[in-house]
Structure 1
Amino acid sequence: MTSHIRIAQQNTRKSLMATKELLSEFQKHKIDLVLVQEPNTQNTNRILGYPLQATIHQVGNNSKPKTGIVINNKTLYTKTLDNYTNSWMTSIQVQLDKTQLIISNIYIEPNTMIDEHIETLRNLLKDYEHLPLILAGDFNARHTLWHDRIVNKHGELICELINDFDLQIHNENSPTCITDNGNSIIDLTLSNSRATPHIKQWNSKGPLSGIFDHVYITFEFSSKNIPHRTPFSTRKFDEKKADWTKFHKHFSADRIKKLTKQLGKANNARKIDQIIKQFTRIIQNAAYHSIPIIKTSPYLRRCNWWDDELRCMQIVVRNKRYIFSREKNPQVREHYYNEFRSFRNKYVRMIRRKKFLKWKEFLEELHSQDTWGNTYKMIKHKTNPKSHTLPIIEDFPVKEHPMIMEKIVNQIFPSQASRSSPNFSLDRIGNTTQHINLTRDYIESLIHKTNSKKAPGIDCITNGMLKQIKSLISNFLAKLFEKCLNIGYFPKQWKKGALTIFPKPNKADLHNSKNYRPITLLSSIGKLLEKIIQTNIQNYLIETKKLNSNQHGFVPEKSTITALFEIKKKILNYKADRLTSILAIDFTGAFDNADWDIILQNMTNLNIPSYLIRIISSYFHNRQIIFTYNKHRYSKTTTHGCPQGSPLSPLLWNILINNLLDTFSVNNASIFAYADDITIVCSGKNIKELHNTILTALEHVNTWSISNNLTINFNKTNILNFHKKSFPSPIIINDNLVEIVPKIKILGLTFENHHLRNKINFTTHINNTINKTINVKNILNNYCKNTFGINTRKRQNLYKGLIRPMMIYGSEIWSDQINRKQIDKLESLQHSILRNSLMAFRTVSKSCVSSLTRIETLRTNIEVRKIKFLHKNRIELINTLDLNQHIRDIKNLELDRLFLNTNVNFRLFFVDKIPKFIFTNFYTTQFFTGHGPFNEYLHRMKIANNPFCFALNVIEKIHKEDEISSELSYRIKSHKFHFK
């Protein structure tokens, strides 16, 4: 914990370049927080120009901010004071050891101070008089009390405020605003009696450069034991800088061989745990000697575009400004000012150029062919920003954090009776022995398939490390896993998980633990054993067909699409001649409240082999979660629940809920499940019968949930009617009203009633998809311009891998339910995005764009997906030996059709088809399509009369009809000329 907070204040006069220069300055000197007046907003309601990861406190409610506080030190605990934050004032609370520091940043425009301003400041000083408080900013107030030459109205009012509340003025006898019209002291730093003793090293450096009219002010607030966030992560080693040769050198293969021999004699749990402990230390030791520890700075990343040339120019501009500001002779002063202004403009242009070139280099990544680089990461961050804060803890004093952590864990994982292991007796199952044989190749394939980006467990051993030594450890792990399976023991080291919680999206109350999603980070080695167990259980259930066919979650050859297809099919079947409703049921904390005894009993009822039941029982025994926040740590032995993050958890949940699917036998109702998402389609000949069917179905599920120690979340359980009739009475279960909604979202697809019996309304889903796609398209267009950005290939890969899957999700379900206008909107969006990928003019046709990108129309893609889905699930089989070739033929036929629909210029250029080696960019696309100012280009290059190029004098308007386009802007005499 440091003993001071470094604070800076600066008026940037709404300038982006001034903001960038300020950014380089406070990052260089490790300023903790910056009070900014007149920030750069570019006529929006947000402060712009700072890094994406920066925390910025500003006014909300769509008000244009005139002040803001930028937190450069992300480890500080800060919170906006909403009552004292508005367009001209930003107030925050900084957590100290035993109290809070209040900082208020003020900007009042010249000659605008009114009673409301003074009254707000008085209320702030009264409300927080018992806490240290700092008032700072640009008051546009002048008074001799703080050594200014004159007194204005603002100065009189602020002077009265200072006297009434006994505020300390920290300004010295130096100007804070330097312009060609003169100097003044209008930027003030004030503090109350509780803050004054802690403020030190107040310093006015003068203007950083000519960009600023206002000086750069810094000071420190000193206090004992200022609390800071200490980021916790199980990812300890920086594998990007790993020396894998050194890692192999320090990895002791001989010791692994000795441990393998010891395994043969290990016949009990204690010896197995000792061997695993030694094995873990061998890998960790190799990592410590070859991979650097990840070091995180509490401060924002420095500007990599700020170089020595800019620093030299900054010094020159600063000196020129100093010379003109000190000159008394008006004529000489004007000469110096013009000289200063000229060089300042040159300096600003250089900042803009340096920044743009670095930004372009960052986005384009010319050294890399990876599509999923910086541009992709920027899009993901914009569309799905991640919050790294935990208001449920951080909004409270530090001394209360241990108690809050304990409360969070106990609320998410409540204890069940007084047990740390299942009450299920293993005597109920047979005592048969099973000898399992695992091969080295199988273990190596398991390791190879792991995701290197997955976070490790508390042992900090990553999948990347295991991949490096898989050939050296595969034999040992095969013997170890065999031993665990044969004796029915899951090692205790792998039952400890690091708990991390994330705020759920779109949740307002972040002080409620139910609005956080718990993820348990488990050992990477332990998860290999879990995958082996999961595979064996899954294979048994599939072979014996004991898993209910209505379960679509985490089942081979099933998905959300198969679940939605069955739901849609059942709705349309019922809807044809009956009243129909669907019921979406949600369980409260389903995975976290799964009962171990019931899972084991269900496994026994399903006749799962006894060795698998034994190891699952051991898997549940004495499981421990460890929640770490800063230097505080709380651990708890869980008594129920399937850890989210475990490969076994989805399968164990499926075993638990399988009994519900098997026993559900309500007339005129069908049940479908995707993991814990339950959907029931109900029907009735009349409204009374439908009402009774829904009640019966709900009562059945509610009875089952009570007997299985689960709770239905009635706030999220809804009914959607596919009719317009009203029920005779509300649907109530145990005094809980089930709400009837006009639309319902199931597995990412929004269902609505349609007035036609053979239709389901997906209008809301299509509109939401269009809006999301437009949002992503606009973000992509910001990063991919005609003159810079990733190349054409990467742009098209981004579309095919990121945007198109989002656009056509569930198309197998809704493609035959939407109208032509809706599909045309989606088609138009694809054209717009692909046209951007080619850097083509807006007038380029869809046919030309599709031909150059070799990407079929969205209609064709949707049809192809549906054909593949129906064939794969044996719903509509295609009479072909090679489905993939059949799909390629469909796409090629569509591309050929599109090529024939292109303009004459395009077809003359390529004659038959487009070669694969064609490279498109802003200029080549114009030549290929015939859209662009070619006459101007050819004259500029002085080749208008070149024998290879016949340019017409008039080229701007050639888009009347395909027949008229024979009047080309140019003709190509030799194809080879352009391909060179």
Structure 2
Amino acid sequence: MFDSIKFAHQNLRKSATATQELLSELENKKIDIILIQEPHTHNSHRILGFPSRSNLFQTDENILPKTGIFINNKNLMAKKLDKYTNCWMTTVQVQLSKSLLIISNVYIEPNTISSSHIDLLKDLMKTFANHPLILSGDLNARHTLWHDRIINRHGESICELINDFDLHIHNDENPTCLTINGNSIIDLTLSNYKARSFIRNWASTVHQHSIFDHALIEFEYASNERIPQRISNTTRRFNERKADWTKFNELIDQESVARITQNIEHTNNTNTIDHNILELTRIIQKAAFNSMPTIKRSTYHKRSNWWDTELKMMQIVFNSKRYLFSKERNPEARQHLYDDFKSFRNKYIRMIRKKRLKKWREFIEEIDTNNTWGNTHKLIRQKLNPQSHTLPIIEDFPYEDHPKIIENIVNSMFPTHRSSQEYIGHDTSLTTPEHEYNISKEYIESLISKTSSRKAPGDDNITYNMLKASKGKISESLAKIFSKCLNIGYFPKQWKKASLIIFPKANKSDYHLCQNYRPISLLPSIGKLLEKIVQSEIQNFLISNNKINPQQHGFIPNKSTITALHSIKAKILTEKRNKLTSLIAIDFTGAFDSADWNIILNNMHQLQIPQHLIQMMHSYFQRRTITMKHNTIEYSKNLSKGCPQGSPLSPLLWNILINKLLDTLAHLTLQYMLICSATNIEDLHVALTDSLNFINSFSNDNQLKINFSKTKILNFHKLSFPHPISIDSNIIEVVNNVKVLGVIFENHHIKSKINFTSHIKSAVNKSIKIKNLVFNYCKNTFGIDSRKRINLYKGLIRPVLTYASEIWIDQINKKQKSQLESMQHQLLRNSIMAFRTVSKACALSLTKITSLETFIEIKKIKFFHKNHLQRIDTENFDMYIKELIRAKISENFENTNQNFKSFFVNNIIPKHVRTDFYTTQFLTGHGPFGDYLSRMRLSNNLTCTCDNNSIQNVSHLLIDCHHYHAFKTNINLIASDLPSFVNEKENFKKFKKLCKYIYDHLRSIESSNSASL
């Protein structure tokens, strides 16, 4: 916590240059909050020029903002007050330990003050009369009350407001606005009686050599309360990007690890096991502390590094020239100085843009790395899924209430529970496995290698990267620990401690409710390795003994969402042909968090799972804890039910819990999809009602709860039920479409079909959103290279377009297929930086990608072959697929234009051919060439300027045109025909230079011709 907040207040005159100068001025002052009036917007609806991802509050209305509040201190708990935020006013609240500090920033244009301004300000004063409140801004109000020379209409209104609410004026006698026409005090800082005594060090600063005509106002709010700050409670403690992994591995004490291994081998005592696990944990933690820095998060936003010394020097000259002309009274001399200032200003602004663009290009393009998933991908992801780092459920309330709120959150998400069933297991303390476990170190190393380094660690801060770096030294010890735990049926207690983090669910209206947050349990990484072993043992038993219902698709080997969707589709189409068919999508409230442990253990007994594994799970459930930390507040409780979301075991435990329901109800297609059919509507109504009643009864018996508001019925017929279907007085809504595992199902008027129109529209709309972001960051002459763009399309956009295409491809029409192909073509065209007129065949050939129809066809063949639905009669299936892809690519090549074919012999495009904006034009023949422009009716002149006779096409420009002979000689490029430009890697590099040179020359000729007209 800290006890003061530093403020700065500045009118920016809508200037980008002024914005940068303000940030430069405040860079080393550690200002917490900046109040800005007349910000730079470039006539948009957003304030520009401040650090990206900064906490900048402004109006959300589709209107030009005239004020904004920039929270420079990232640790302050600030929230915008929407009622008191509009185009001319921005208001925020800052959390104090026992109350709220209200800050309102106002800009009222000259001669525009009205009753609407005053009424809203009065309402603000009344609403927060019992809170410290600061009102600051450019009010364009002049009055002798605050030492101005004159009184204007704004001044009279504000003076009345001050008197009505006993506001204190913090201004001194110094002017806050200095212009050629005179000085005035129109920028005010006011406070109510709750805040006045805590505002200190108020000062206005006017730099003569400055771009501003308004003073920079600074003051400090020194609270009598401690001001809480936002602290990162992440379990990721170490900065692994700066880790010395060699040193880390060396610091793992081999002798200590060997001693732990020996201790484990010679004990069955659980306390000894726990003690040695703790020792191993400390060894890894100590090595981390001494080989990598801890993560340090800066309090204040950092400025972009493009603002360098050269710009700072230019800024001084710029301000000096401005000052000289503004003070000059001689008209002729003033005009001369102004012209000089204007010329330098343009140079200064161009330099700012140049520097900023250069750094932006370096950031976006990342030419020093081949990583596709770098900054461009991260920016797109951030735009698609904006992350909220605030928790309104906590931070919107007084700090003193936070401990109780956090306790309520944990108890609401993980309520104390008494099982409806007794655990029927016998005393298993002496049960040992039929074959004693002796896990090998090689198996542990393999298990560690397969883990994802992106997974967050538990409260011990040990990451999978640390385990990977030290696996050679610790795998033997881990193998002995895991073997011992399995043999005695014991799950170590420190691996049962979960750290709780909560995330706001998307598109919820009220984030003050617990149900609108998703809980995630962060568990120790080593403990999750043991969980994976236990999960594998139980699952292997269930599958090898056919204990799992065939309708279970989730987290089952060789099954997936696609196999589940295929099962649903097949069932619907079979039933729909001759009967009235309906689908019910059932939603369970907090399914994973509601799982009853005793019921799971009893189900394991009924499934005849080996006793030592049941004993292991019994130990796993005992004395589990969950801890939530927020800033300096922490709350823990013992768990009594639920499968922790984040645990490798959770999906399997849920499958065990729900398996009995699938065994009992034959027409339950999945755990939550019910398909019923009947020959008439009355019988269908009865079937649906009976099935739902059965599921509801099962849910009640198993401590689960159906969320009836999210449970929906989709009819695959046009008839209406005689009366609504209701369960426990809850009416189940009939809808036109239902999303099942990410695919939207609808009824089709043809009995042999299912309608996927809404799904295709949704996929296309999602892709358009991503496409627009890609196009924003990847221009023809700007952004990541072609290879990265192609990979970005393959990994980010094509999966959206083709998700579950094995299921719906045979159900959609030609127009919908054309929509999908068109979307792919737009993105591939961008990938090779081609003109809009480039054909699909050329784009597909240059990117070495098949058409979307072919890609989906191959996906479908693979799916049907793998799941034995339609096997391909071939000894080598992978080779069959490769040959199919090769044939389709060759077919695409045959459809390219003659110019394209003339570059590549034998229809083969060499691997080193990676195009850019310039080479693509020459390879495709679509560029600023005479023959192309003539075909597009953009020019009447076909000939080249070299002789005004030869047709200006690609072949002529590259081989015959004498304009470029000298350049080819300079770069030592020898090529007698078009294929020789691309066949060799070195020649292709020179070809790229030649293409750019010719393009620039052609554009310069075009510019000259345009200028002469």
Per the alignment, residue 274 of structure 1 pairs with: 275
**In 1, are the aligned partners of 2:499 and 2:521 still within 8 Å (CA)?**
yes
Inter-CA distance 760–44: structure 2 relative to 1 (3 Å threshold) = farther
Per the alignment, residue 803 of structure 2 pairs with: 809
Per the alignment, residue 245 of structure 1 pairs with: 246
Amino acid at match of 1:404: I
Amino acid at match of 2:854: T
Per the alignment, residue 976 of structure 1 pairs with: 980
Matched position secondary structure for 1:627: strand
Q: CA deviation at 1:489?
A: 0.3
Are 1:690 and 2:684 matched, yes or no? yes
Q: CA deviation at 1:501?
A: 0.6
**In 2, are the aligned partners of 1:454 and 1:463 still within 8 Å (CA)?**
yes
Per the alignment, residue 461 of structure 2 pairs with: 460
Amino acid at match of 1:671: T
Per the alignment, residue 152 of structure 2 pairs with: 152
TM-score by length of 2: 0.91
Amino acid at match of 2:721: F
Per the alignment, residue 84 of structure 1 pairs with: 84
2:913 to 904, 918, 925: 918
Amino acid at match of 1:500: I
Inter-CA distance 906–509: structure 2 relative to 1 (3 Å threshold) = same
Per the alignment, residue 1008 of structure 2 pairs with: none
Write the mapping of 1:318-717 to structure 2, written as runs, cut at 5 A: 318-417=319-418, 423-427=423-427, 431-434=431-434, 435-665=436-666, 669-673=667-671, 678-717=672-711
Return 356-365 or 341-350, whichever deviates more.
Answer: 341-350
Inter-CA distance 204–325: structure 2 relative to 1 (3 Å threshold) = farther
Per the alignment, residue 960 of structure 1 pairs with: none
- What are the superposed Cα offsets for residues 843-888 of structure 1, whole Å, 9 maximum, x if unpaired? 1111111111111111111111111111111101111222222222
Between the aligned partners of 1:226 and 1:937, the Cα distance in structure 2 is 68
Inter-CA distance 205–891: structure 2 relative to 1 (3 Å threshold) = farther
Between the aligned partners of 1:495 and 1:775, the Cα distance in structure 2 is 42
Return 82-91 or 250-259, whichever deviates more.
Answer: 82-91
**In 1, are the aligned partners of 2:428 and 2:615 still within 8 Å (CA)?**
no
Inter-CA distance 705–511: structure 2 relative to 1 (3 Å threshold) = same
1:842 to 817, 825, 836: 836
Per the alignment, residue 257 of structure 1 pairs with: 258
- What are the superposed Cα offsets for residues 608-664 of structure 1, whole Å, 9 maximum, x if unpaired? 111111111000000001111111111000001110000011111111111111111
Inter-CA distance 907–977: structure 2 relative to 1 (3 Å threshold) = closer
Inter-CA distance 686–258: structure 2 relative to 1 (3 Å threshold) = same
Between the aligned partners of 1:442 and 1:619, the Cα distance in structure 2 is 22
Amino acid at match of 2:775: N
Per the alignment, residue 94 of structure 2 pairs with: 94
Per the alignment, residue 62 of structure 2 pairs with: 62
Inter-CA distance 888–634: structure 2 relative to 1 (3 Å threshold) = same
Per the alignment, residue 897 of structure 2 pairs with: 903
Q: CA deviation at 1:129?
A: 2.4
Are 1:218 and 2:212 matched, yes or no? no
Per the alignment, residue 104 of structure 1 pairs with: 104
Q: CA deviation at 1:508?
A: 1.2
Q: CA deviation at 1:456?
A: 0.6
**In 2, are the aligned partners of 1:933 and 1:955 still within 8 Å (CA)?**
no
Between the aligned partners of 2:339 and 2:976, the Cα distance in structure 1 is 54
Q: CA deviation at 1:911?
A: 4.1
Per the alignment, residue 952 of structure 1 pairs with: 951
Inter-CA distance 422–446: structure 2 relative to 1 (3 Å threshold) = farther
Q: How many residues align?
A: 953
Inter-CA distance 337–188: structure 2 relative to 1 (3 Å threshold) = farther
Inter-CA distance 636–423: structure 2 relative to 1 (3 Å threshold) = farther
Per the alignment, residue 723 of structure 1 pairs with: 717
Matched position secondary structure for 1:672: coil
Between the aligned partners of 1:623 and 1:736, the Cα distance in structure 2 is 35
Inter-CA distance 555–20: structure 2 relative to 1 (3 Å threshold) = farther
Between the aligned partners of 2:360 and 2:295, the Cα distance in structure 1 is 26
Q: CA deviation at 1:339?
A: 2.9
Q: CA deviation at 1:496?
A: 0.4
- What are the superposed Cα offsets for residues 180-238 of structure 1, whole Å, 9 maximum, x if unpaired? 55544332222223222212222333369765443332221111311111110111111
Q: CA deviation at 1:915?
A: 2.1
**In 2, are the aligned partners of 1:207 and 1:213 still within 8 Å (CA)?**
no
- What are the superposed Cα offsets for residues 513-537 of structure 1, whole Å, 9 maximum, x if unpaired? 1111111100111111001101111
Q: CA deviation at 1:713?
A: 0.7
2:928 to 933, 951, 959: 933
Q: CA deviation at 1:110?
A: 2.1
Matched position secondary structure for 2:628: strand
Between the aligned partners of 1:14 and 1:180, the Cα distance in structure 2 is 19
Q: CA deviation at 1:750?
A: 0.9
Amino acid at match of 2:281: T
Q: CA deviation at 1:17?
A: 4.2
Q: Which runs of 5+ in 2 are unaligned?
A: 934-942, 956-974, 983-987, 991-1013
Between the aligned partners of 2:612 and 2:61, the Cα distance in structure 1 is 60
Between the aligned partners of 2:72 and 2:842, the Cα distance in structure 1 is 49
Inter-CA distance 591–977: structure 2 relative to 1 (3 Å threshold) = closer
Matched position secondary structure for 1:469: helix
Q: CA deviation at 1:473?
A: 0.8
**In 2, are the aligned partners of 1:950 and 1:972 still within 8 Å (CA)?**
no
Between the aligned partners of 2:363 and 2:458, the Cα distance in structure 1 is 33
Between the aligned partners of 1:325 and 1:426, the Cα distance in structure 2 is 94
**In 2, are the aligned partners of 1:551 and 1:672 still within 8 Å (CA)?**
yes
Between the aligned partners of 1:428 and 1:276, the Cα distance in structure 2 is 24
Q: CA deviation at 1:90?
A: 1.2
Inter-CA distance 479–955: structure 2 relative to 1 (3 Å threshold) = closer
Write the mapping of 1:269-308 to structure 2, written as runs, cut at 5 A: 269-308=270-309
Between the aligned partners of 1:716 and 1:354, the Cα distance in structure 2 is 53
Per the alignment, residue 778 of structure 1 pairs with: 772
Between the aligned partners of 1:217 and 1:270, the Cα distance in structure 2 is 64
**In 2, are the aligned partners of 1:422 and 1:620 still within 8 Å (CA)?**
no
1:876 to 860, 870, 874: 870
**In 2, are the aligned partners of 1:209 and 1:314 still within 8 Å (CA)?**
no
**In 2, are the aligned partners of 1:208 and 1:216 still within 8 Å (CA)?**
no
Return 129-138 or 777-786, whichever deviates more.
Answer: 129-138
Return 244-253 or 56-65, whichever deviates more.
Answer: 56-65
Per the alignment, residue 236 of structure 1 pairs with: 237
Return 59-68 or 704-713, whichever deviates more.
Answer: 59-68
Per the alignment, residue 884 of structure 2 pairs with: 890
Q: CA deviation at 1:511?
A: 0.8
Per the alignment, residue 164 of structure 2 pairs with: 164
Root mean square deviation, CA, Å: 2.4
Between the aligned partners of 2:371 and 2:695, the Cα distance in structure 1 is 49
Between the aligned partners of 2:826 and 2:10, the Cα distance in structure 1 is 42
- What are the superposed Cα offsets for residues 341-368 of structure 1, whole Å, 9 maximum, x if unpaired? 3322222221111111111000111111
Inter-CA distance 180–800: structure 2 relative to 1 (3 Å threshold) = farther
Q: Which runs of 5+ in 1 are unaligned?
A: 957-970
Matched position secondary structure for 1:931: coil
Q: CA deviation at 1:107?
A: 1.4
Between the aligned partners of 1:305 and 1:612, the Cα distance in structure 2 is 60
**In 2, are the aligned partners of 1:211 and 1:344 still within 8 Å (CA)?**
no
Inter-CA distance 303–24: structure 2 relative to 1 (3 Å threshold) = farther
Amino acid at match of 1:122: K
TM-score by length of 1: 0.94
Amino acid at match of 1:796: I
Inter-CA distance 432–455: structure 2 relative to 1 (3 Å threshold) = closer
Are 1:860 and 2:854 matched, yes or no? yes
Amino acid at match of 1:80: K
Q: CA deviation at 1:40?
A: 3.4
Inter-CA distance 766–516: structure 2 relative to 1 (3 Å threshold) = same
Between the aligned partners of 1:86 and 1:794, the Cα distance in structure 2 is 42
Inter-CA distance 607–423: structure 2 relative to 1 (3 Å threshold) = closer
Inter-CA distance 61–752: structure 2 relative to 1 (3 Å threshold) = farther
Between the aligned partners of 1:912 and 1:807, the Cα distance in structure 2 is 32
2:812 to 815, 818, 832: 818
Inter-CA distance 825–180: structure 2 relative to 1 (3 Å threshold) = farther
